[in-house]
Amino acid sequence: MPLRLATWNINSVRLRIGLVAKLVDEHAPDVLCLQETKCADDHFPLNDIRKLGYAHVAIHGQKGYHGVATFSRFPFVTTAKERWADKDDARHLATTFAAGPLEGVTLHNFYVPAGGDEPDPTINPKFAHKLQFVRELHQWSERIAETDARIMVGDLNIAPDPSDVWSHKQLLRVVSHTPVETEGLDAMRLAGRWVDAVRAHVPHPEKLYSWWSYRAADWEASDRGRRLDHVWASEDVAARSTGVEILKAARGWDRPSDHVPVIVTFG
């Protein structure tokens, strides 16, 4: 029985709980990771989540900003809510499956800082913070490089390759696709022996996006997207991934998130 794992930057879980239900109704993920829930833990709509069939939940939120949540039809234990880049932001949640097809696998759910607009860490503290976060992800990846049975998903806020953006040239100085970010993410992936489970099924140079700006007059016509949302795995787990879907249609749902769900199936 395969397992379907979805990751989605929902941009407010309370505003879009109906879209979460729509995703579950139409695509039936067994495991669902959300980012940017923007909701303190005591206000999280957990009853709705349980009604959707997720008996196992882990939430790590804060009021108004950031926030990550992991739901599963299979049992897990929460193993970490780490502190990153010298801030108490709710940007990481680790869970380890106790049963089911991914028993023993640790799932890391991340929301990497966006980094502001100015791609210069000396004048933009938000960009400096993002780069520090990526450096810490690199160091963490090095520490766990020899371990198996791991997945990391989430909004990494970096589109690493030219085929992950609508225009490589026009985005080279735009935060999310600057060389210091894309090289930093590549170095982290190599240091951790991570496999990009999405690109394993849709190789470069096919264009692939998971985010389209709210500011476009017509997001679909202009199609100026970026692939900011990722599913990576250690080699043993990646070898079990059998397919991927990026739900572009979700960008056209009523009052959508600017990100769409990414679903990877594991056999």
Instruction: Pick the binder of DNA from 27, 53, 57, 65 (CB under 7 A).
Output: 65
Q: Tokens for 74?
A: 């299979």
Given the rule CB under 7 A, which of 11-19, 98-106, 177-185, 237-245 is the region that contacts DNA?
11-19
Q: Tokens for 154?
A: 């989430």
**Dist. CA 92–CA 78, nearest whole Å:** 11
Per DSSP, the three-state class of 47 is helix
Q: Assess contact for 90 and 110: CB atoms under 8 A.
A: no
> Is 180 a binder of DNA (CB under 7 A)?
no
Per DSSP, the three-state class of 85 is coil
**Dist. CA 95–CA 154, nearest whole Å:** 14
Which one is catalytic: 108, 129, 138, 259? 259
48 is a catalytic site residue: no
Q: Assess contact for 259 and 155: CB atoms under 8 A.
A: yes
Tell me the binding residues for Mg(2+): 9, 36, 155, 157, 258-259
Instruction: Pick the binder of DNA from 2, 15, 87, 120 (CB under 7 A).
Output: 15
Looking at beta carbons only, is 160 or 192 nearer to DNA?
A: 160
Given the rule CB under 7 A, which of 44-52, 107-115, 144-152, 189-197 is the region that contacts DNA?
107-115
Q: Tokens for 85?
A: 């880049």
155 is a catalytic site residue: yes
111 is a catalytic site residue: yes
Residues near DNA (CB under 7 A) are 11-12, 14-15, 36, 38, 63-66, 113-116, 126, 157, 214-215, 255
